[in-house]
Chain A
């Protein structure tokens, strides 16, 4: 992290200039130091897939992954995330190929207004990266921090189960490189 003015006291309201690793790419970005990761992703990096919800850590719609774990981007400072791997919904698809979770959500209609979907997708991805065959209760627990105000939870749970099934079938458990992160 570099500040434009030397020394911390003088850097107070100026922009900081730092490198973040977002969706596998190093990006350089300058922003006011009190901006949250959510604000920097949306306003300074143009990644508007991550949504503004309550902005107080209650709704989960701003969830992104940091080193594979879901966190609330509305309550994280980019200044704490130097060298960390940040994943947003924009990074889930592999080129034109959607992530199995995205496909399953679309196939099963697991979204109504869709505003909570990016947060659900990333939280579910963290779960499926850690557990290939989660039970319904494990899915419910893992997604307990994501609110859907259209109340379509059952379809969301079913979509996570379908994605898990498709991912298991696509990558037999003993195959080499089964955990390529996608």
Chain B
């Protein structure tokens, strides 16, 4: 039986209290909202915080406010079910609603939060294993070891960014609010991530993700595609979020983000560039899709053969763009 390691649990009532307790507790503390990412990791001893600061009682973190036309604000503590079933999210941001509805299972979505999915720990076949399994391979660089078993000669960790919400939030240009004792700062969602499997966030450990601020829905369209083995449960092993602005039939601007094929969300710049100024025809879609082959950098550390995932990056970009045609 896998039990949680011992920890002190503090149930915060407000953002202010949560960040104060975090500042007092220091680096051995961790925030927890839904617990669907942290607790399995703690059971596998991937993370062993001495203090866990519970956020499920912080009401201000759960609100979904504003209008899609002027900018919807989603509290980081809103559950995935609350987000994907919310009428304004479904109507104003169908791509985000779709991505969130594809996360894991309905039961898990009743617990997991949007903030937790955004900050989801990077994943890897050599890391997401129980303690004994990891000990059997002398651990890996991400936790307790020195070597990256996916690329043993590499000096970095290649664990995979596996959030469904992140590619969409980056593609549509969402922003996130981070609170700490020194105040609040707002950054672009895309700037929250760093291309490193271990140090994958630019958020400081003492900062609490409080809000996800969506841009006004002024004429652009977005969509999301996800590759996984089973139709529920599984994390993405490739995902594509695309957002296009049109000027009549011509693509005015484009953003295509690849997920789960790197340690951070990857911007397929070249694919986007090939679309701008052109109509969205099967030819332009094909050209943009082919250009997504190069930036996709899957390694052999998730489900499916990595060459297949790289090949499918082309197919999924094409499918996403056909959605928007």
Contacts and interface: CB of A to CB of B under 8 A. Distances in A.
A55 B43 CA distance: 8
Contacts of A36: 3-4, 39
Interface stretch (B7-15, B211-219, B264-272, B286-294): B7-15
Contacts, number: 89
B232 A9 contact: no
Main secondary structure of the interface of B (DSSP, over half): loop
A142 B107 CA distance: 8
Majority DSSP secondary structure for residues of A touching B = loop
Given A8-B10, A33-B9, A34-B7, A145 B35 contact: no
Contacts of A34: 3-7, 9
A75 B35 contact: yes
B110 interface: yes
B110 A57 contact: no
B106 A55 contact: no
A142 B11 contact: no
Number of chain B interface residues as a range: 20 to 34
Interface residues of A, number: 34
21 contacts: A13-B6, A33-B9, A34-B3, A36-B4, A56-B2, A69-B110, A71-B107, A71-B110, A72-B36, A75-B35, A75-B39, A75-B111, A77-B54, A80-B54, A80-B57, A123-B106, A144-B232, A145-B107, A145-B108, A145-B232, A146-B107
10 nearest CB pairs, A to B: A145-B105, A145-B107, A144-B232, A56-B40, A12-B8, A34-B4, A70-B107, A55-B2, A75-B39, A75-B35
Interface of B: 1-11, 34-36, 39-40, 43-44, 54, 56-57, 81, 104-108, 110-111, 231-233
